[in-house]
């Protein structure tokens, strides 16, 4: 089966495929939609972390690097929402990490 082609671009912040009109001129090259471009930098970073965690969570089987990345994100207290999300994925998978 052939892969389905998506119209537009993939936003690396919110993780959605959006139409070309949803991107500004420079947004096409950096893959950030207008909605995400308007967010503060801290929120963009946290959403990008959460997008990465979600992609790892959907992946099966996970590699050792994926587990290490999840553990790293779970310990990162700079982005509490992303940290909680990573911790939840680890707990659902039966992995436990030491709290520091």
Structural domain range at position 68: 40-95
Spell out the SS3 assignment of the chain: CCCCCCCCEECCCCCCEECHHHCCHHHHHHCCCHHHHCCCHHHHHHHHHHHHHHHHHHCCCCCHHHHHHHHHHHHCCCCHHHHHHHHHHHHHCCCCCCCC
Are 63 and 85 in the same domain? yes
Are 85 and 71 in the same domain? yes
State the Rg of the chain over Cα.
Answer: 16
79 is a domain residue: yes
Are 65 and 80 in the same domain? yes
Are 29 and 48 in the same domain? no
2 is a domain residue: no
Are 91 and 47 in the same domain? yes
Are 33 and 55 in the same domain? no
Q: How many domains does the chain have?
A: 2
Backbone angle region of 24, left / alpha / beta, with phi > 0 → left and psi within -120 to 50 → alpha = beta
Tens of pLDDT, residues 16-71: 888 888 877 765 678 888 898 899 999 999 999 999 999 999 988 989 999 999 99
pTM of the model: 0.77
Are 34 and 44 in the same domain? no
């Amino acid at each position: 089966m052939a892969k389905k082609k998506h119209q537009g671009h993939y936003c690396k912040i919110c993780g959605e495929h959006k139409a070309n009109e949803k991107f500004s001129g420079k947004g096409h090259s950096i893959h950030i939609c207008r909605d995400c471009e308007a967010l503060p930098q801290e929120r963009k970073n946290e959403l990008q972390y959460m997008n990465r965690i979600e992609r790892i969570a959907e992946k099966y089987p996970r590699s050792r690097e994926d587990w290490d990345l999840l553990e790293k994100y779970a310990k990162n207290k700079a982005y509490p929402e992303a940290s909680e999300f990573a911790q939840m994925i680890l707990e659902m998978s039966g992995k436990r990490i030491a709290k520091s």
